[in-house]
Amino acid sequence: MQYVLIGIAVLLIWYLLANLRVVPQSEAYVIEFLGKYKDTWEAGMHLKTPFLERIAKKVTLKEQVLDAPPQPVITKDNVTMQIDAVVYFRVFNPMLFTYGAINPINALDNLTATTLRNVVGELELDETLTSRDAINSKMALILDDATDPWGIKVIRVELKNIIPPKGIQESMEKQMKAEREKRETLLLAEAHKEADIKEAEGHKLAVVLEAEGERDARIARAEGEARALYLAKKAEADGLRELMAAGIDEKVLRLKQFEAMQKVADGRAAKIIIPTDMVDLTTKASVFAETASVGSAVTNPEEHAEEVPESHCFDKEKEFGDYDGNGYDRQKAETDEALGKRRTE
């Protein structure tokens, strides 16, 4: 009896050790009972029935990467390129992943290649080179919908390399070089243009400043002249007011007129117009000199008449040259007559 109990205990321990399973984190076990799907074990400790249950597949739930090899792809404008893509996916349903396809990873690889050809075949070369984001998004959407029955969730797709033919590469390099030379030419032209504009603006500013300076100088000169004229007139007016305040009589004014005529006849004028009152003033001065016996008395009217201006208007140059004698005698006679009247009075 004792040996029987020991044997039962050994069988129990063996059963536990043989059928006890621990599922790691981020993994799942697909369990079959007599060849039929029964359950999916997640992380933790599980006990299976010996000889009746078995683990059909161990599936990892981590994100996986499928690096598809380069594929020859023909664009819409008949350019053959080598393109390889990288697919990021994870298993969201272990049961579908186990029974949905014989080899889901291989199926995903082939589906990626065909989808890449379809998407790039709708684009031209330039669009293919500049539309990577659009291609990635479209491929991720198509693959995700196609792999749902396999229990696979496609997270994203990235184009790793786009390799055009060698001739296309050389053409692209030439195009890039020409484009850079064009940019250089445009930049140089723009720089010259800006330099010319700046120079013209500087010249314009210099001309404007010069004109403004000349204007300000002319204004200053005009203001100075106006100020000087104003001060001269003011001084003259002040002098006249002083003379009027001093009670200057008509004789003094006549004398001032005579002094002014002397300044006018200083040898620079060619012709002098003497007012009639100046002639009268001269006559009165001569009579006053004779009466008061100041200086040399005039005994001969003819000699005194020579001191009287010959005419109200005469040419100074004729004092030293020939002139009409008749006109001179007539003026002399008139002067003698005037002097005789003065003596009679």
**CATH number of the domain that 72 lies in?**
3.30.479.30
Residue 42 CA to residue 30 CA, distance in Å, equals: 9
Q: Based on the fold, state whether residues 73 and 158 are members of the same structural domain.
A: yes
Q: Based on the fold, state whether residues 68 and 54 are members of the same structural domain.
A: no
Residue with the bigger pLDDT between 227 and 274: it is: 227
Q: Convert the pLDDT of each residue in 189-244 to its tens digit.
A: 999 999 999 999 999 999 999 999 999 999 999 999 998 988 888 888 887 777 67
Task: Say what percent of the chain tops pLDDT 90.
Answer: 23
- Write the CATH number for 30: 2.30.30
For residue 87, the SS3 value is: strand
Tokens linked to 248: 């200057």
Q: Is residue 315 assigned to a domain?
A: yes
Residue with the bigger pLDDT between 305 and 341: it is: 341
Q: Based on the fold, state whether residues 34 and 85 are members of the same structural domain.
A: no
Task: Say what percent of the chain tops pLDDT 70.
Answer: 71
Q: Convert the pLDDT of each residue in 275-301 to its tens digit.
A: 555 555 555 555 444 544 444 433 444
87 residue type, one letter: V
Contact status, residue 159 vs residue 132, Cβ threshold 8 Å:
yes
Residue of 310, 305, 304 lying closest to 326 (CA atoms): 310
Residue 203 CA to residue 255 CA, distance in Å, equals: 63
Q: Is residue 280 assigned to a domain?
A: yes
Q: Is residue 50 assigned to a domain?
A: yes
Q: Based on the fold, state whether residues 154 and 118 are members of the same structural domain.
A: yes
* pLDDT in the model for residue 131: 85
* pLDDT in the model for residue 235: 86
Residue-wise burial string across 153-168, b where 16 or more C-beta atoms lie within 10 A, e elsewhere? bbeebbbeebebeeee
Residue of 246, 69, 235, 25 lying closest to 163 (CA atoms): 69
248 pLDDT exceeds 90? no
Residue-wise burial string across 294-309, b where 16 or more C-beta atoms lie within 10 A, e elsewhere? eeeebeeeeebbeebb
Residue 343 CA to residue 287 CA, distance in Å, equals: 8
Tokens linked to 23: 């599922």
Q: In angstroms, how far is the first alpha carbon of the chain from the final one?
A: 201
DSSP state of 311: -
Highest-pLDDT range among 18-27, 136-145, 159-168, 269-278: 136-145
* pLDDT in the model for residue 64: 92
Helix pair 276-292, 325-344: axis angle to 10 deg: 50
* pLDDT in the model for residue 267: 55
Q: Convert the pLDDT of each residue in 167-182 to its tens digit.
A: 877 887 888 888 888 8
Q: Is residue 236 assigned to a domain?
A: no
Q: Which of 29, 45, 60 is the last residue of a domain?
A: 60
Sign of the Cα torsion 185, 188, 190, 192 reads negative
Q: Which of 140, 164, 188 is the last residue of a domain?
A: 164
The continuous run of DSSP H or E covering 298 comes out as none
Which pTM value belongs to this model? Answer: 0.51
* pLDDT in the model for residue 55: 87
* pLDDT in the model for residue 50: 79
Q: Based on the fold, state whether residues 45 and 127 are members of the same structural domain.
A: no
For the chain, the residue count is 345
For residue 247, the SS3 value is: coil
Residue with the bigger pLDDT between 252 and 278: it is: 252
Residue with the bigger pLDDT between 328 and 179: it is: 179
Residue-wise burial string across 127-141, b where 16 or more C-beta atoms lie within 10 A, e elsewhere? ebeebeeebbebbbe
Q: Is residue 175 assigned to a domain?
A: no
For the chain, what is the domain count?
3
* pLDDT in the model for residue 155: 92
Highest-pLDDT range among 47-61, 134-148, 237-251, 265-279: 134-148
Residue 91 CA to residue 105 CA, distance in Å, equals: 11
Residue of 247, 282, 242, 246 lying closest to 261 (CA atoms): 282
Mean pLDDT over each residue of the chain, to the nearest integer: 77
Q: Which of 36, 60, 84 is the last residue of a domain?
A: 60
Highest-pLDDT range among 7-16, 151-160, 248-257, 333-342: 151-160
Radius of gyration of the chain (CA): 66
- Range of 70's domain? 64-164
